[in-house]
Amino acid sequence: MKVGIIGIGIAGFRTTTPELSWKELTYEAAAKAYQDAGVDPRKDVKAFVTCAEDYWEGFGIFDEFTPDQIGGALRPVCTVCGDGIHGLATGFMQIQTGLVDVVAVEAHSKISDLLTYEGVVQHALDPIWNKPLRGHPFYVAGLEMNAFLRASGNTEKHCAAVVEKNRNNALRNGIAAYGANVDLNDILTSEKAFDPLKKLEISGLADGAVVLVLASDVAAKKLKRKPVWIKGVGWANDSPSLETREWERAKYAELAAQMAYRIAKVKNPAREIDFAEVDDRFSYKELQHLESLGLAKKGQAGKMTANGDTALDGKFPVNASGGSLGCGDVVEASGLHRVAEVALQLRGDAGKRQLDGVKVGIAQSWRGIPTTSGAVAIMGVNQ
């Protein structure tokens, strides 16, 4: 059975949203998605998936709070404690079973409600091995960047080029919270944070919500919608421990992509896929992910970026949306936002950042430090 995206709703993104509760923010995205899909959530949507993590929300057992704001009161609802693409995969599978034909997937960030972001990330470290060392948890990104650059041959300048590209792309994206006309020099001279990682190479946090409506091919036809097809999904984790994981490459992204490529029957990703939205919470992550997904040859992602190949008008545009660096890190909504961007591009609805003639796109997510949790979705205009 084919599954496609028939509705897209995005609310935000902004550095803070003091006037709205997380419920009201999510409602805004949901109402937009249902309008876009032309569905009544109370009748047409058969199941609902929320992606959320208790510690981001500040509620225990957050699952309890998910139905109302997405139209899921007294309906089949479940929560995935993971990134939005994990939720997309869940919705995809629910439809594949034949039990339901229309599913809404939601992920949001009200991260401005959390006053101690670093504290929560630090709390994710192993209690016996790592927590006694205290320290800011982002040193994990410094460790990884150092190992990755050394092994791959990509440079700090290449990483800075990622930031320059993404934050400038974001200027063309109405929802982006961190669009800016920064240049290489601004980034390379920004203060050192977790050497070799510099301050401007770290995505800022943002509030926002994303809701997507998925439908089976039959349901989409009945609703008279032209879907963006989900061709394949995949997800994987590397080791949870800092001491036994791959530092040089994103193994989780490699494995997640292998699964998605197998389902989508993609043999040569660099040739068959036209553009990508990949996780760029830290500058080097975009390069590492491109290589792990097989979209750049090992050690070449940096050069591709510096040459402009991944620019809006390049051979293989990456993060046309502006990515997390440009739009803001919306925690669990990050992956779903990228899926939404790929779908908008494939529909031709990406406005000032619309890419020409794109037919197949890939979205990839990473759950951030200290996880090695990744997910991938491949979408196309043709069934």
Partner 1 sequence: MGQTPQKWPGIELSNDDLLNKKVTQTRYHPRAKFSWSAGEAMSRFLNELKEGRLIGRECKHCNKILFPPRMFCEQCFKPTSKWVYIKDTGTIQTYSISYLDKDAKRITNPIYVGVVSIDGASEKMGIMHYFGEVTKDTIHIGMKVKAKWKPPLERTGSILDIEYFRPLKEGEQ
What residues line the site for partner 1 (CB under 8 A)? Answer: 17-24, 27, 30-31, 34, 40-42, 55, 58, 67-69, 71, 73, 110, 112-116, 118-120, 122-123, 127-128, 131-132
> How many Cβ atoms sit within 10 Å of the Cβ of residue 308?
13
Distance CA 292, CA 295 (A): 8
Provide the minimum distance between the beta carbon of 378 and partner 1 in the complex, in angstroms, as a whole number: 31
**Residue carrying the six token digits 């997510």:** 365
Q: Which is nearer to partner 1, 16 or 96 (CB)?
A: 16
Tokens in use for 160?
A: 């800075």
Taking the least distance from each CB to partner 1, the nearer of 118 and 349 is 118
Cβ-based nearer residue to partner 1, 40 or 349: 40
Residue 110 or residue 225: which is nearer to partner 1 going by CB? 110
Q: In this complex, which beta carbon is closest to partner 1, that of residue 129 or of residue 265? A: 129
Of 132 and 357, nearer to partner 1 (C-beta) is 132
How far, in Å, CA of 34 to CA of 41, rounded?
7
In the bound complex, what is the minimum distance in angstroms from residue 266's beta carbon to partner 1? 38
Q: CB of 332: closest distance to partner 1 in angstroms?
A: 16
Helix axes 139-152, 283-292, angle to 10 degrees: 50
Q: Which is nearer to partner 1, 71 or 322 (CB)?
A: 71
Closest contact distance (angstroms) between CB of 242 and partner 1 is 16
Backbone angles phi, psi at 265, to 5 degrees: 55, 40
Shortest spacing between CB 164 and partner 1, in angstroms: 33
How far is it, in rounded angstroms, from Cα 99 to Cα 210? 24
Cis check for the bond before 370: say yes or no (omega within 30 of 0).
yes
Compute the distance between CA of residue 302 and CA of residue 322 in angstroms, rounded to an integer: 17
Q: What's the min distance (Å) between Cβ of 172 and partner 1? A: 29
Minimum separation from the CB atom of position 359 to partner 1 (A)? 34
Q: What's the per-residue H, E or C state across 355-372?
A: CCCCCEEEEEEECCCCCC
Characterize 50-74 residue by residue with b for buried, 16 or more Cβ atoms within 10 angstroms of its Cβ, and e for exposed: bbbbebbbeeeebbeebbebbbbee
Phi/psi at 163 (5° precision): -65, -45
Closer to partner 1 by Cβ: residue 127 or 357:
127
Tell me the DSSP string of 76-102.
-EEEESS-HHHHHHHHHHHHHTTS-SE
CB of 59 to partner 1, least distance (A): 9
CB atoms within 10 A of CB 78: 15
